[in-house]
Amino acid sequence: MFTRLSLLALAMISVAGVANAKTIYEPPVQEPPIVDTDMPPTHGPHQVAITDEYGFHYDRWGNRLNAAAYVIPPPHTPAGALVIQNGPGEQS
């Protein structure tokens, strides 16, 4: 008897919960595009924001700077250059 009463109470609570549930539809919010007005300067020296443990200087955008506080471009391999690749089982 107690089991039947418990199951009946559980069923009534479930039905009441489903009946009270509401579906809320919110249209997607059209946000304006993010425009970074605080971009790094395109020329001239940058202000040093941090110096790492090896003495390298960086600006606040993460660009590595030389001694005159100008951005050092990242290294790149020109097209057609000889590239040394690791063989099987070797790690870089």
Sheet of strand 64-65: strand arrangement: 50-51, 57-58, 64-65
User: Using one digit for the tens of pLDDT, what is the confidence trace for 16-29?
Assistant: 555 556 667 777 78
Q: What is the mean pLDDT of the chain?
A: 78
Rounded to whole angstroms, the Cα distance separating 84 from 82 reads 7
pLDDT at 18: 56
User: Using one digit for the tens of pLDDT, what is the confidence trace for 62-85?
Assistant: 899 999 999 998 888 888 888 777
Rounded to whole angstroms, the Cα distance separating 88 from 63 reads 34
